[in-house]
Amino acid sequence: MRKRELKNVDWWVLVIAIILCVIGLVALFSATQESNHDAFNKQLIWIAISLVVMIFFIVIDYEAIVKASPIFYIAFLLLLVAVLFTKPINGATSWFDIGFFSFQPSEFAKIFVILFLAYVISKIQLKQKENINKFSRILLILLVVGVPVLLIVKEPDFGTAAAFIVATILILFTSGIDKKYVIVTILIIAIAIPVLYNFILPDHAKQRIDVFLNPESDPRGAGYNIIQSKLAIGAGELTGMGVFKGNQTQLGFLYPKTTDFIFAVISEEMGFIVSSTIIVLYVILVTKALYIAKTAKDNKGSIIATGIAGIFLFHMIENIGMVMGLLPITGVPLPFISYGGSSMITSFMCIGLLINISGKRQKTIFIK
């Protein structure tokens, strides 16, 4: 990056990411006493690798990455097909187990689908004078997203699929979609939800929704995890029970406490003050991403930053909502905090792209 670009960079997105990582590491260290902090040690390695990957996405011009996105898009479509033939882990074929680590292609696909969307939409706007509202163009955009989403649903991984949808909705708003399409979409969703529940969703997905609506209906089975999570959050009160001192965490009632339910660990042991601070940090991060989108030098940068804002927004709301019993459990990780290499690397890839875009922006100009 040139000196002028470094001055333009919004470094707060990186600062927030590091603060969230530190909180996550403290929670992981506490939650993994019985395993000699194995997950904690691995997470340190993943963070180090993620920072290296982030630097790559900072140094390489994002326009060059967008130009190469069709290749990555096709590559990850092939990986999403290939992963369907792997051995199921917890009922889902979402992972390539390479021995020393597991690779989740759907996590990385989120980034490269957003980059490819920026490529496709910018091409449409260049040729059609920024008008994407012809039905065939909307259909093309939805097809770009729809193919990977359907493959991910097939795994099944409904949480990650929903992240694609939220990011796409924000991108379409940024690109100037006509209100009539928004109204039609809302009507389709309203009709589709009961149809999906009654005729398409598999039994385990229906069970998650039923448990979300009434966890006490199966307190020792499907409702067990969410009940224990709510007990942990409530026990933390204002300042928490103390690191290494959470009852639900240390006695093994929370599961999986290093990934899906790590926010419950933080709430129990560090209390409302720290857990609410996490929410505030995520809100600031999403706001910063949207501001970077608003001030980006071109539509490509605006689309990418908006899509990243959508990913972070969805993951924050879904993960925290599900551990509090406000949303169905989907297995969506909490960015920078939950244990996992794929999630950590893709989260820092997002930060690298935001830094890249912010460095090249023109702060006083809003490009539609």
User: pLDDT in tens for each of the 368 residues of the chain?
Assistant: 666 777 788 999 999 999 999 999 999 999 998 888 889 999 999 999 999 999 999 999 999 999 999 999 999 999 999 999 988 877 778 888 876 677 899 999 999 999 999 999 988 877 655 567 788 888 899 899 999 999 998 988 888 999 999 999 899 888 778 877 778 877 887 887 788 777 777 776 777 777 777 777 777 777 888 899 999 999 999 999 999 999 999 988 988 899 999 999 999 999 999 999 999 999 999 999 999 999 999 889 999 999 999 999 999 999 999 999 888 888 899 999 999 999 999 999 999 999 999 998 765 443 33
| The pair of three-digit structure tokens given for residue 233, joined into one six-digit string | 């959050």
- Compute the half-sphere exposure of residue 50: CA atoms within 13 Å on the CB side of its CA: 26
- What contacts 321, CB < 8 A, 6 or more positions away? 327
Sign for the CA dihedral angle at 332, 184, 151, 103 comes to: negative
Task: Give the separation between CA 232 and CA 226, rounded to whole angstroms.
Answer: 10
* 315 touches 322 (CB < 8 A): no
Compute the distance between CA of residue 52 and CA of residue 6 in angstroms, rounded to an integer: 18
Q: What is the pLDDT of residue 127?
A: 64
- The distance from CA 231 to its chain's CA centroid, rounded to whole angstroms, is 26
Rounded Cα–Cα distance for residues 94 and 84 (Å)? 7
Which pLDDT value is given to residue 364?
42
Q: H or E stretch including 141?
A: helix 135-154
pLDDT for position 293: 94
Describe the crossing of helices 62-82 and 299-323 by its angle, rounded to 10 degrees.
50
pTM summary value: 0.90
CB 157 within 8 A of CB 94: yes
Query: What pLDDT was estimated at residue 319?
Result: 95
CB environment 48-58: b (16+ within 10 A), e (fewer): eebbeebeebb
- Rounded-to-integer distance, Cα 305 and Cα 290, Å: 7
What is the pLDDT, as a whole number, of residue 130? 55
* DSSP reduced 3-state for 96: strand
Cα–Cα–Cα angle for 336, 159, 207, nearest 5°? 130
CA distances from 362 to 5, 65, 284 (A): 10, 20, 21
Q: H helices within 156-202, ranges in order?
A: 158-174, 179-195
Which residues, including other chains, have CB under 8 Å from residue 18's CB and lie 6 or more apart? none
Q: At what angle do helices 62-82 and 105-127 cross, to 10 degrees?
A: 130
Q: Report the pLDDT value the prediction gives residue 125, as an integer from 0 to 100.
A: 77
- Asked if 40 contacts 32 with a C-beta cutoff of 8 angstroms, the reply is yes
Residues 66 and 302: their CA atoms lie apart, in Å, by: 12
